[in-house]
């Protein structure tokens, strides 16, 4: 059974909808818990001035916790309902802090440095809610309820609801009110981290590390939200972050869908700590970003969200050569809020897609740059320099070309220019950088310098090659095209002189693919167009040298099979079983 490093919970913000439920079998308590808190506030009477806030100690997860109760004005208008007799509407706060936390000062929970603790805030809700006579936008269920917000740090997120119940019980408010939160209860913030020794974390925030590459490779040039921060003023990697939008998460790890932030950081004043202090060493954290995720993450989705964030951490560690188990000496084992230990929970580990994305984008720039027309160049420069989003019609107006020419340019530069929702943008920050270098290098001598600039880019790309497969793909312009009659169809853009050169290229492709991608080459087909024989398709890369056929040769075999007694070739094709060699791709 596989074992993976168990990540530490950090910030969390969960909103529970309590008192109303769509299941008729669940009793709706409405504002009953809110009225109980209001009574607690009133019953404390003059003690608010003489004794301060009510406090209680509780036991939670085998630890002792200090809590405190408080209230504040809500600004809401009283509910116009006979059952609501409260003159001034308040919200209530419950503070909590772990007493055995190394940072616990002994002060009341609301005044302590709550490194391991937080607050529970309770807000009343009812139909047609108003504040100063104006409607307040909150979920409407036709019945009153309470909104219970839990904000905490360094506490396992799956224990938030249990913590609420323990605190309520301590103040004489029945925990049964909180047994069945509404399915709309949702998560606003969720973060997990690992802490690495200072000298081990460098690959994570390096220029070619996952944080920087997420920004340059998978975020569009103009659309969506872009944020990348590199603050190395106090020490290398002091604060380095990148944001990945939900629609891009799948490009990082297949199946992921949360908007998230990847962050490598130190505390505000790292100079205050010594090597044997945990904050002397950095955290690598991945947090869920509500504002970058279209779909709401419900409370019942917590396990899936936690798994995705932890998988992002583990994969980034693996992609940079850092261990993903607790046996490694790269992780700080004296963090007071994290035990370096493994879990046997299943985690999806994926091959890093970033080098391949980078190789593809570099190759695409190199491939198209040499064939650019003046119109291509003008549109590209316009996208490089013009701010905002540009529609094809606006691009035509700005460059002086016709709309039809702009569409032709966009089609020709597919892979460099993205056309979505009626707007144009460069495919990624990486593409923008590569094109900008080429345009600036060429200047007014664009046409004359294309050839040399292309060779320079090709040489630089080869020098930066991270694998034999990347070099082979660039050298022979190997791309993957869609096909439904084989496992994978590779198209070679380079044109060899004859079959002899073709076989040499195929041997390089097979060797590089086997070494760097997968030893299993079964079902991988390759299409090559040679100067001597035209288009060839080689079936099964394992035996490619024996099974390359020209299309006219294959047609003669079809005619031969038609003549075979008892075999209806056309019916066989109509049944969805075409031969693997039949290909209509470009």
The string of DSSP codes covering 420-455 is: ETTEEEES-HHHHHHHHHHHHHHGGGHHHHHHHHHH
Cβ pair 163, 150 in contact under 8 A: yes
* SS3 state of residue 31: coil
Backbone dihedral angles phi then psi of residue 148, each to the nearest 5 degrees: -115, 110
Name the residue among 369, 355, 457, 394 with its Cα closest to residue 222. Answer: 394
Name the residue among 125, 122, 101, 124 with its Cα closest to residue 113. Answer: 101
Q: Mean pLDDT: which of 122-126, 435-439, 529-533 is highest? A: 122-126
- 575 against 405, higher pLDDT: 405
- Give the residue-averaged pLDDT of 327-353: 90
- Please tell me the number of Cα atoms within 13 Å of 354 on its side-chain side: 22
- 139 against 362, higher pLDDT: 139
- Cα separation values, 385 from 37, 246, 263, 390, 432, Å: 59, 27, 30, 11, 10
pLDDT at 93 > cutoff 50: yes
Report the pLDDT value the prediction gives residue 69, as an integer from 0 to 100: 97
Helix pair 403-412, 392-399: axis angle to 10 deg: 110
Distance (Å, whole) CA 450 – CA 446? 6
What's the CA dihedral at 267, 273, 274, 279 to 10 degrees? Answer: -30
pLDDT exceeding 70 applies to what percent of the chain? 76
507 confidence band (pLDDT: 50, 70, 90): confident
Any idea what the Cα angle at residue 237 is, between residues 236 and 240, rounded to 5°? 145
- 415 Rama class: left (phi>0) / alpha (psi -120 to 50) / beta: left
Dihedral sign for Cα 469, 470, 471, 474, please.
positive
- Give the residue-averaged pLDDT of 451-462: 43
Distance (Å, whole) CA 210 – CA 204? 6
Backbone dihedral angles phi then psi of residue 375, each to the nearest 5 degrees: -65, -40
pLDDT at 471 > cutoff 90: no
For 517-573, how does the pLDDT look when each residue is reduced to its tens digit (9 = 90+)?
877 777 888 889 888 888 888 877 765 554 333 333 333 334 444 444 444 545 544
pLDDT at 387 > cutoff 60: no
Give the chain's mean pLDDT. 81
The separation between the first and the last C-alpha atoms of the chain, rounded to the nearest angstrom, is: 45
* SS3 state of residue 69: strand
CB atoms within 10 A of CB 23: 10
**Looking at 102-111, 232-241, 308-317, 576-585, which range is the least confident one?**
576-585
- Give the residue-averaged pLDDT of 383-390: 62
- Give the residue-averaged pLDDT of 328-352: 91
Rg (CA), the chain: 31
The residues, ordered by sequence, that sit 6+ positions from 472 with a Cβ below 8 Å of its Cβ are 478, 508, 509, 512
Across 208-334, the runs of DSSP E, i.e. the strands, are 228-231, 239-244, 260-265, 283-289
Tokens for 143?
Answer: 């019945």
The residues, ordered by sequence, that sit 6+ positions from 325 with a Cβ below 8 Å of its Cβ are 3, 4, 5, 342
Tokens for 492?
Answer: 């070679």
| DSSP label of 15 | E
Cβ pair 85, 199 in contact under 8 A: no
**Looking at 115-124, 279-288, 518-527, which range is the least confident one?**
518-527
Distance (Å, whole) CA 482 – CA 476? 19
b vs e for 143-173, b when ≥16 Cβ sit within 10 Å of the residue's Cβ?
A: ebbbbbbbbbebbebebbbebbbbbbebbeb
The residues, ordered by sequence, that sit 6+ positions from 191 with a Cβ below 8 Å of its Cβ are 9, 10, 11, 12, 285, 286, 287, 288, 309
- 571 against 179, higher pLDDT: 179
Cβ pair 242, 214 in contact under 8 A: yes
* SS3 state of residue 88: coil
The DSSP annotation for 43-68 comes to HTTTHHHHT-S-EEEEEETTEEEEEE
449 confidence band (pLDDT: 50, 70, 90): very low
* SS3 state of residue 174: coil
Residue found by looking up tokens 């569009």 in the block: 220
Any idea what the Cα angle at residue 572 is, between residues 566 and 574, rounded to 5°? 140
Cβ pair 121, 92 in contact under 8 A: yes
Report the pLDDT value the prediction gives residue 425, as an integer from 0 to 100: 65
3-state helix, strand, coil in the chain (%, to 5): 35, 25, 40
Tokens for 51?
Answer: 């004794």
373 confidence band (pLDDT: 50, 70, 90): confident
Cβ pair 5, 324 in contact under 8 A: yes
Cβ pair 270, 264 in contact under 8 A: no
pLDDT at 267 > cutoff 90: yes
């Amino acid at each position: 059974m596989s074992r993976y490093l168990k990540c530490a919970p950090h910030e969390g913000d969960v909103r529970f909808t309590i008192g109303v439920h769509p299941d008729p079998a669940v009793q709706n308590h409405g504002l009953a818990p809110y009225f109980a808190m209001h009574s607690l506030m009133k019953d404390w009477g003059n003690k608010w001035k003489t004794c301060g806030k009510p406090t209680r100690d509780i036991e939670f997860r085998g630890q002792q916790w200090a809590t405190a109760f408080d209230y504040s004005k809500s600004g809401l208008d009283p509910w116009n309902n006979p059952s609501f007799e409260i003159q001034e509407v308040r919200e209530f706060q419950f503070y909590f802090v772990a007493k055995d936390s190394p940072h616990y000062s002994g002060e009341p929970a609301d005044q302590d440095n709550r490194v391991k603790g937080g607050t529970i805030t309770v807000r009343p809700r009812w139909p047609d809610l108003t504040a100063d006579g104006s409607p307040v936008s909150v979920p409407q269920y036709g019945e009153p309820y309470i909104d219970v917000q839990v904000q905490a740090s360094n506490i396992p997120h799956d224990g938030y609801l249990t913590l609420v119940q323990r605190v309520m019980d301590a103040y004489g408010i029945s925990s049964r009110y909180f047994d069945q939160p509404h399915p709309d209860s949702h998560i606003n913030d969720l973060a997990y981290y690992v802490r690495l020794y200072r000298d081990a974390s460098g690959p994570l925030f390096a220029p070619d590390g996952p944080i920087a590459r997420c920004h340059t490779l998978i975020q569009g040039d103009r659309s969506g939200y872009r944020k990348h921060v590199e603050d190395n003023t106090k020490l290398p990697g002091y604060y380095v972050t990148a944001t990945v939008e939900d629609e891009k998460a799948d490009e990082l790890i297949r199946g992921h869908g949360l908007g998230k932030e990847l962050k490598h950081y130190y505390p505000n004043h790292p100079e205050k700590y010594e090597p044997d202090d945990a904050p002397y060493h950095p955290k690598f954290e991945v947090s869920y970003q509500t504002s970058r995720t279209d779909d709401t993450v419900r409370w019942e989705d917590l396990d899936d969200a936690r798994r995705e964030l932890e998988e992002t951490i583990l994969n980034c560690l693996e992609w940079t050569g850092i261990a993903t188990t607790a046996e490694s000496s790269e992780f700080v084992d004296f963090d007071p809020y994290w035990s370096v230990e493994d879990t046997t929970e299943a985690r999806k580990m994926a091959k890093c897609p970033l080098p391949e994305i980078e190789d593809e984008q570099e190759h695409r720039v190199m491939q198209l740059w040499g064939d650019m027309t003046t119109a291509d160049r003008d549109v590209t420069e316009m996208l490089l320099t013009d701010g905002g989003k540009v529609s094809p019609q606006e691009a035509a107006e700005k460059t002086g070309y016709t709309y039809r020419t702009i569409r032709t340019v966009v089609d020709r530069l597919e892979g460099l220019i993205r056309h979505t929702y009626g707007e144009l943008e460069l495919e990624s920050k990486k593409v923008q950088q590569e094109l900008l270098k080429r345009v600036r290098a060429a200047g007014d001598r664009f046409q004359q310098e294309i050839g040399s600039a292309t060779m320079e880019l090709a040489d630089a790309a080869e020098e930066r090659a991270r694998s034999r497969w990347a070099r082979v793909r660039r050298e022979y312009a190997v791309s993957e095209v869609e096909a439904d009659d084989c496992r994978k169809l590779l198209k070679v853009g380079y044109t060899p002189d004859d079959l002899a050169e073709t076989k040499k290229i195929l041997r390089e492709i097979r060797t590089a693919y086997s070494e760097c991608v997968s030893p299993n080459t079964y079902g991988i087909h390759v299409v090559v167009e040679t100067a001597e024989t035209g288009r060839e398709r080689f079936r099964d890369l394992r035996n490619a040298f024996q099974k390359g056929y020209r299309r006219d040769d294959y047609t003669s075999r079809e005619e031969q099979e038609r003549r075979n007694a008892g075999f209806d070739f056309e019916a066989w094709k109509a049944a969805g079983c075409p031969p693997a060699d039949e290909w209509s791709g470009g």
